[in-house]
Amino acid sequence: MEALGLDVLLNGTNALRLLGGLWVSVQVALISVLLSLPLGMLFGVFMTWKNPVAKVISRLYLEIVRIMPQLVLLFVVFFGATRVFGINISAELASIIVFTFWGTGEMGDLVRGALTSIPRHQYESAEALGLSKPQIYLQVIIPQAMRQLIPTSVNLITRMIKTTSLVMMIGVVEVMKVGQQIIEANRMVSPNAVFGIYGTILFLYFIVCWPLSMLASYLEKRWAVA
């Protein structure tokens, strides 16, 4: 135990504190994901519009999301908002804003990909059968798009959860920050805690993300259309 630095976990409320930190991470991720999914669906449909203005906006948004490191976005929103607009937002709120901004862009691109991957003759044969536009989308297009979308968006969700480890940089006391605090406090007594604690955090992230990635590959197999 001591060699691995796991003993610190059993000291006082350390284990509970770590779990509390994990809960903060999961909360930030969960709220961002819940906001990103519907917004991303809307954005994805918007991205399929042929209107040139819509195209430029979609393109610009997606490029910003892709190019800007999440850490820079966090700094811009958290410190920038305070300085420039004089509004004081909490670090948690800033994190949720950035993650939702990011998630909506990525989700939108997944939705766009799913919608455009459905061959034109699927629309046409449904039309030829005399189905109405809403019926075509509800019965033919969306079910097929979903089959492609769910595995890829589960992957996006795990990426979002993992990336929440960045939010400690703007002062959110999430699992990484709690871990750091525990390590600092025990540096003298138990120098190996640095391994034990970070190892535990690694394990916690694994516990949260692994079922999701299993789910994704299960759905991918189950819905494979070939």
Q: Footprint of other proteins on this chain (CB under 8 A)?
A: 119, 121-122, 124-132, 135, 139-140, 143-144, 147, 223, 225-226
CB of 9 to other proteins, least distance (A): 48
* Dihedral over alpha carbons 164, 165, 169, 170 (to 10 degrees): 30
* Cβ pair 183, 9 in contact under 8 A: no
CB of 27 to other proteins, least distance (A): 35
Of the two residues 63 and 124, which places its CB atom closer to other proteins in the complex? 124
- Residue 164 phi, psi dihedral angles, 5° rounding: -60, -15
User: What's the angle, vertex CA 12, arms to CA 11 and CA 15, rounded to 5?
Assistant: 75
* Cβ pair 147, 81 in contact under 8 A: no
Rounded to whole angstroms, the Cα distance separating 195 from 191 reads 9
Of the two residues 113 and 199, which places its CB atom closer to other proteins in the complex? 113
CB of 130 to other proteins, least distance (A): 3
3-class state of residue 226 by DSSP? coil
DSSP state of 1: -
CB of 122 to other proteins, least distance (A): 7
Of the two residues 3 and 224, which places its CB atom closer to other proteins in the complex? 224
Of the two residues 38 and 143, which places its CB atom closer to other proteins in the complex? 143
Beta strands in the chain (DSSP E): none
CB of 135 to other proteins, least distance (A): 5
Of the two residues 126 and 219, which places its CB atom closer to other proteins in the complex? 126
Rounded to whole angstroms, the Cα distance separating 20 from 204 reads 12
